[in-house]
Chains A and B, each alone.
Chain A
Amino acid sequence: MATKPETDTPVFETPGRFEKLYNEYEGTKWSRVAIYGGLSMYLLWTLFPVYWMVTGSLKTREGLLTFPPQWIPLQMEISNYVVLFTQRPEFWRFILNSMIVTIATTIIATFLGACAAYGFVAFDWPYDLDFHLPFYILSTRFMPPIVVAIPIYVIFRDIALVNTLPGLILLYVMFNVPFVVWMMKGFFDEIPDSLVESAMIDGHTHLGAFFKIVLPLAKPGLFASGIFAMIITWNELLFALIITHSADAATLPVGLSSLITQYTIQWELISVAGTIAMIPVLIFAFIVRDELVRGFSMGVDG
């Protein structure tokens, strides 16, 4: 943990490297064209597929597959949405499963990861274990996930966790904790020891100080790790496909993939399900965007 000196004189902020670069180049006309041109290309590159999917969900199958492409949808067809849920009513269940699994995983993984990270930051560890252990935890994510898929399936089958929501949650918590630990460690490092000590002198136990002082201050970090865990969990396909095989536990990505069969790919329904799958993460990210920006820039205000 660090201690920041505080003075009455304002700190002179040297411009960041990016800022300098920007100041250097913004004057010339051609460099502006290059900067804004580059950014536009990037936006197009990232946003066009999203646009294509959302508009695709509003087109008829013919409109979607016609050539030359229909850049702007001619009609606003919501019938695809109706069709998806009448043809495949189990999609309601997939959405519900996805939500349960994602919310549970996000909360559990963020909480456990934060607790672990704090333990590494706050206490004295011999042999540099406060570095090596978190690194070991992170390293569990280095190998390709598929490597452990078969052993996990076998273990889960033996303890009756296959095709259950708790099984999926357990698995995803295991996947997410490493990232949370690693991210939260950085945030806790920024919180001065003296705040915790001060809280203990003011009457808290160490645990009380963790909940009342440390966690509130690390909120941007919790949001950042939380949304990270949420995105990973909400979108996870590989293990969901292996562990689940019915509407009892299958998640939205599994449902999505079921629209691609050997015989046909139901593009308009995939667009619908894809659009639906995208919305919750977008909404959440929008709600917590202030915290998130602070979180990803690693700042504790104060």
Chain B
Amino acid sequence: MVKVKYDSVEKRYGDTIAVEDAEVTVEDGEFAVLLGPSGCGKTTTLRCLAGLTKPTDGNIFVDGTDITDVHPKNRNIAMVFQNFALYPHMTVGENIGYPLKIAGVSKEERDRRVEETADILQISELIDRSVGELSGGQRQRVALGRAIVREPAVFLMDEPLANLDAKLKMGMRTRIKRLQRELDVTTLYVTHDQEEAMSLGDKLIVMDKGNVQQVGTGDEIYHQPVNRFVAGFIGSPAMNFLEVEKDGAVVRPSIDGAEFEFELDDDIASAYGTDGTFTLGIRPEHVAVRTTENPRCIPGTVEVTEPLGNEQHIDITFGDLSSEDLQFTVTASGSLSVERGDTVWLEFEQEHLHAFEQSSGERIATEEIVQSKPNVPDS
């Protein structure tokens, strides 16, 4: 069942377009994550649903009702702000119970529900504290408490973990996910951190420059990015890109000074269609690194190694090309022993190659890719 639906929502600030023609749906009970680089319009999209920003154009529906012109207080939507926005002149308990107080819930009922909520979040012992005495992680939990205490129709979070340090972040991430599952509340979550998005979201909505680029599960977005932006934005280290010219099954880089070429498997070559120039992409973990010469492989020079224990990232340059011209990052086993200056041979796992049109950046669809195109919301 569709819980939230954005129907060609647009928000302009003067000449800047913050959000353009957004079509987003969130199913009942789903954990949807808005993901994109800073300034891409995530917050604006979220605020339109909360009613804090009025869309320039388009409509937003919750449970099938058009709420575009409804005051925030009547939307039954809860929101956790990045800076938590706790009321500094109230205690923890008063903060959590405030939405109930405004709604006119009796004192006893309110106390009961505040206690219950504090219990879930394990902050019962903080109830009488002033919020000024709390640590960042505790504030975060109070903010969550204030949002869930009223059992909202939709739960919004705008980068709620951005102000926490790395260790707390991991803990809170798990807590938020578990909470969402337990309460089964439809959630729209904003972050610029793709790892966070992957680990939390049932559905990821990737945005760039005010436009929704792709909607799908983390897997779909990771394995079948619909365009070069999504491919490059998702994944760390980022996908490697190579501008190539295709001639039958042979591709060679269309970069001055590049001396290597390699052959595509026949089925893949034909899937890419006619010859010409396009962009190939391959993720670091889909490149095999060999230390012995191999005719199917491309020779490169190790520039930097970054050991991470069980695996390592290796930056590689090719022939006379400098790292500005072309550099690949590959992930290899931690046991592979190479160092700066060594020559290695790279083999691309062809079934994991991505191809993008050079001008538009759109994915060049092969059969399997057509099937998993983003699920454009049907109206």
Contacts and interface: CB of A to CB of B under 8 A. Distances in A.
Asked if A and B bind, the verdict is yes
Given A7-B165, A198-B79, A302-B132, A216 B89 contact: yes
A262 B287 CA distance: 105
Given A6-B139, A202-B99, A203-B103, A197 B81 contact: yes
A7 B136 contact: yes
A205 B71 contact: yes
A294 interface: no
Contacts of A302: 86, 88-89, 131-132
Interface size class of B (residues with CB under 8 A): 35 or more
Contact of A202 (B51, B88, B146): B146
Interface string A196-232: 0111111111001000010011000000000000000
Interface string B79-95: 10111111111000000
A204 B165 contact: no
A9 interface: yes
Interface in A1-53: 3-9
Interface in B123-176: 131-132, 135-137, 139, 146, 150, 163-165, 168
A264 B73 CA distance: 68
Contacts of A202: 73, 98-99, 102, 146, 150
A4 B98 CA distance: 22
Contacts of A300: 88
A301 interface: yes
- Chain B interface main SS type: loop
Interface string A110-126: 00000000000000000
B77 A4 contact: no
- Chain A interface main SS type: loop
Contacts of B165: 7-9
Interface in B273-305: none
Nearest to B84: A6
A127 to B, nearest CB: 14
Contacts of A208: 102
A192 interface: yes
B133 to A, nearest CB: 11
B163 A192 contact: no
A194 interface: yes
Nearest to A197: B52
Contacts of B82: 194
A4 B102 contact: no
B72 interface: yes
Contacts of B146: 202
B346 interface: no
A195 interface: yes
Interface string B218-262: 000000000000000000000000000000000000000000000
Given A6-B163, A195-B87, A302-B131, A201 B71 contact: no
Contacts of A301: 88, 132
B22 interface: no
A194 B85 contact: yes
B291 to A, nearest CB: 44
B250 to A, nearest CB: 54
B78 interface: yes
Contact of A201 (B77, B88, B163, B164): B77
A201 B150 CA distance: 11
B136 A213 contact: no
B50 interface: yes
A204 to B, nearest CB: 6
26 contacts: A3-B83, A4-B83, A5-B83, A6-B83, A6-B136, A8-B135, A8-B136, A8-B137, A197-B50, A197-B52, A198-B79, A200-B72, A201-B72, A201-B78, A202-B99, A202-B146, A202-B150, A203-B73, A203-B103, A204-B102, A205-B71, A216-B89, A300-B88, A302-B86, A302-B89, A302-B131
Interface of B: 50-52, 71-73, 75, 77-79, 81-89, 98-99, 102-103, 131-132, 135-137, 139, 146, 150, 163-165, 168
Closest 9 CB pairs of A and B: A302-B88, A203-B102, A194-B85, A198-B85, A202-B99, A8-B136, A200-B72, A194-B81, A203-B73
Given A201-B52, A201-B79, A202-B146, 10 more contacts: A5-B163, A194-B85, A195-B85, A201-B72, A202-B73, A202-B99, A213-B87, A217-B88, A302-B88, A302-B132
